[in-house]
């Protein structure tokens, strides 16, 4: 056990400012990761440069290595670039009926995404949605949307043969107004490549519909191509956001970064499969992790996260060494247990916890008990938390009541804290050869 801890605290010795060499070494790996993740070369280059400037000379946090520190900076910077100003999941759909125009190349996932978003709007926001297919090039495409509509319980505009996309868009608008819909979604035709006709058609539809949102659907697996497509669509039609599909595949996420860096357009949603629920609001941290997940960086990131926890543990350990353990310590510990999804992880970080662990297990402790205990601690005053031994019976009653629990639960909590404090005192007294001291080396 203390061996494990020893490893963590070993790293404490490596302190000071990040040297240029540290940064360069770490960034070499990051650069490989970015390129492997399909980030375009100029974007990767700019990015590395920005991080380099930011990182050099920054002081290394206690308990992380320079490499980990750089990764943290890289991760934060990635996340920063990927994050738009607005809430990506919030579609502008006030003033019903609000038109949403879906554009993109053929096969990018427009029709699927139209239905997924319609379902989401219906279920999550209680909106009445009308979907219309403007894909007159492929009759099967209109059928496809109608079938999806039935499947998800969302209305589709009846198909009228021989109509052109602009006429369909107009009819959708009328129908949406008359039918009292909140939103109408226009699923346009795509092509394999961008051409004049495709753009002209989309622009004509845009002009009649005057969409509140124009969402560009791009295949996340196409990497750099996706970025060119986005640039072109934005120049010619103007898009308000991007939906990256097929992010369930082994796509590398780099397209997201390039897309954001080059077009400046926010990524709003990601498609994660063929099913109608397989869509999520874009989450920058997840994509950042995915981009960094290439190469050997992932383990570094994980370690960096681990060490942040270790830093907390270290702080506690210093107190314990002096034989202190009050309700604040207990609360921190309980919270960490919940965060770590159980007791194992937390106990693993603390020497001498085996006995407590067994006791807690014997008492049938699970997360709900942890939460109740935290509630009890929360209803104590600052002073009571620092010196729980001073609690009077009347205060105990109040505290338990404040947390909506029985005094007996509070008594159990107090006993637990006393036992821990006793144990800490004993361990602290073990002196230089003691377990805690050993672990601190």
Q: How far is Cα 96 from Cα 183, in angstroms, rounded to an integer?
A: 6
Residue of 112, 156, 214, 373 interacting with ligand GDP (CB under 6 A): 112
Which range of residues in 137-145, 316-324, 397-405, 418-426 is near Mg ion by CB under 5 A? 137-145
Which of 340, 336, 342, 417 is CA-nearest to residue 376?
Answer: 417
**Tokens found for residue 412:** 């159990």
Which range of residues in 74-82, 107-115, 251-259, 347-355 is near ligand GDP by CB under 6 A? 107-115
Q: How far is the CB of 224 from ligand GDP (least distance, A)?
A: 19
Query: Site mask, ligand GDP, residues 146-175, x = CB under 6 A?
Result: ------------------------------
Partner that binds at residue 109, options Mg ion, ligand GDP, none, CB closer than 5 to 8 Å by kind = ligand GDP
**Tokens found for residue 21:** 């060499």
Q: How far is Cα 219 from Cα 107, in angstroms, rounded to an integer?
A: 8
- 401 contact partners, CB below 8 Å, separation of at least 6: none
Partner that binds at residue 274, options ligand GDP, Mg ion, none, CB closer than 5 to 8 Å by kind = ligand GDP
Which range of residues in 111-119, 233-241, 384-392, 396-404 is near Mg ion by CB under 5 A? 111-119
Residue of 156, 214, 245, 258 interacting with ligand GDP (CB under 6 A): 245
Residue nearest to Mg ion (CB): 111
Q: How far is Cα 322 from Cα 421, in angstroms, rounded to an integer?
A: 10
Comparing CB distances to Mg ion, the nearer of 113 and 336 is: 113
Q: Give burial (CB, 10 Å; 0-12/13-18/19+) of 419.
A: middle
> With binding defined as CB under 5 A, does residue 111 bind Mg ion?
yes
Q: Is 427 annotated as a binding residue?
A: no
Q: Is 251 annotated as a binding residue?
A: no
Q: Give burial (CB, 10 Å; 0-12/13-18/19+) of 224.
A: middle
Q: Is 248 annotated as a binding residue?
A: yes
Q: How far is the CB of 138 from ligand GDP (least distance, A)?
A: 8
Q: Residue 22 in contact with residue 56, Cβ under 8 Å? A: no
The SS3 call for residue 158 is coil
Which of 104, 111, 81 is CA-nearest to residue 228?
Answer: 104
> With binding defined as CB under 6 A, does residue 108 bind ligand GDP?
yes
Which of 77, 88, 83, 31 is CA-nearest to residue 53?
Answer: 77
Q: How far is the CB of 284 from ligand GDP (least distance, A)?
A: 18
Q: How far is the CB of 165 from ligand GDP (least distance, A)?
A: 14
263-292: contacts with ligand GDP (CB under 6 A): 271-274, 278
Distance from CA of residue 21 to its chain's centroid? 31
Comparing CB distances to Mg ion, the nearer of 142 and 316 is: 142
Burial 304-317 (b: 16+ CB within 10 A, else e): bebbebbebbbebb
Q: What is the DSSP letter of 167?
A: H
Residue of 31, 110, 119, 290 interacting with ligand GDP (CB under 6 A): 110
Tell me the pairing of strands 183-187 and 129-133.
Answer: parallel
> With binding defined as CB under 6 A, does residue 246 bind ligand GDP?
yes
Partner that binds at residue 245, options Mg ion, ligand GDP, none, CB closer than 5 to 8 Å by kind = ligand GDP
Residue of 134, 141, 317, 327 interacting with Mg ion (CB under 5 A): 141
Q: How far is Cα 424 from Cα 436, in angstroms, rounded to an integer?
A: 9
* Residue recorded with tokens 């991760």: 75
Comparing CB distances to ligand GDP, the nearer of 202 and 391 is: 202
Q: How far is the CB of 115 from ligand GDP (least distance, A)?
A: 8
174-193: contacts with ligand GDP (CB under 6 A): 190
Q: What is the DSSP letter of 56?
A: T
Q: Is 109 annotated as a binding residue?
A: yes
Q: How far is Cα 399 from Cα 405, in angstroms, rounded to an integer?
A: 8
Report the binding-site residues. Answer: 104-111, 187-191, 245-248
Residues making contact with ligand GDP (CB under 6 A): 104, 106-112, 190, 217, 245-246, 248-249, 271-274, 278
Residues making contact with Mg ion (CB under 5 A): 110-111, 141
Report the binding-site residues for GTP. Answer: 104-111, 187-191, 245-248
């Amino acid at each position: 056990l203390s061996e494990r801890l020893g490893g963590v605290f070993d790293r404490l010795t490596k302190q000071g400012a990040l040297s240029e060499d540290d940064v360069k070494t770490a960034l070499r790996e990051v650069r490989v990761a970015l390129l492997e993740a399909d980030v375009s070369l100029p974007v990767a280059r700019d990015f590395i440069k920005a991080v380099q400037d930011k990182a050099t000379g920054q002081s290394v946090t206690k308990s992380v290595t320079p490499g980990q520190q750089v990764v943290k900076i890289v991760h934060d910077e990635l996340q920063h670039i990927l994050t738009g100003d607005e809430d990506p999941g919030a579609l502008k759909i006030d003033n019903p009926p609000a038109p949403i125009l879906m554009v993109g190349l053929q096969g990018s996932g427009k029709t699927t995404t139209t239905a997924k978003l319609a379902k989401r709007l219906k279920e999550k926001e209680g909106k009445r949605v009308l979907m219309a297919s403007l894909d007159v090039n492929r009759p099967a495409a209109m059928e496809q949307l109608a079938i999806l509509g039935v499947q998800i319980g969302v209305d589709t505009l009846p198909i009228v043969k021989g109509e052109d996309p602009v006429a369909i868009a107009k009819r959708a608008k009328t129908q949406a107004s008359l039918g009292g819909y909140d939103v109408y979604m226009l699923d346009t035709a795509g092509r394999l490549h961008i051409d004049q006709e495709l753009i002209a058609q989309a622009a004509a539809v845009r002009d009649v519909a005057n969409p509140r949102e124009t969402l560009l659907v791009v295949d996340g697996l196409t990497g750099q191509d996706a970025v060119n497509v986005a640039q072109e669509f934005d120049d010619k039609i103007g898009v308000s956001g991007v939906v990256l599909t097929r992010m369930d595949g082994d796509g590398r996420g780099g397209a997201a970064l390039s897309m954001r860096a080059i077009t400046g357009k926010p990524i709003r949603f990601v498609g994660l499969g063929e099913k109608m629920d397989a869509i999520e609001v874009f989450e920058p941290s997840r994509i950042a992790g995915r981009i960094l997940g290439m190469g050997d960086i992932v383990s570094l990131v994980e370690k960096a996260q681990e060490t942040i926890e270790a830093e907390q543990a270290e702080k506690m350990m210093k107190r314990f060494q002096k034989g202190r353990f009050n309700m604040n310590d207990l609360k921190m510990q309980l919270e960490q247990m919940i965060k770590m999804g159980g007791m194992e992880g937390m106990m693993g970080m603390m020497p001498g916890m085996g006995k407590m662990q067994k006791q807690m297990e014997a008492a049938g402790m699970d997360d709900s008990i942890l939460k109740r205990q935290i509630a009890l601690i929360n209803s104590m005053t600052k002073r009571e938390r620092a010196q729980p031994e001073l609690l009077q019976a009347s205060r105990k009653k109040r505290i338990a009541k404040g947390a909506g629990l029985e005094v007996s639960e509070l008594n159990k909590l107090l006993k637990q804290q006393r036992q821990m404090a006793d144990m800490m005192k004993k361990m602290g007294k073990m002196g230089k050869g003691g377990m805690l001291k050993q672990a601190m080396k």
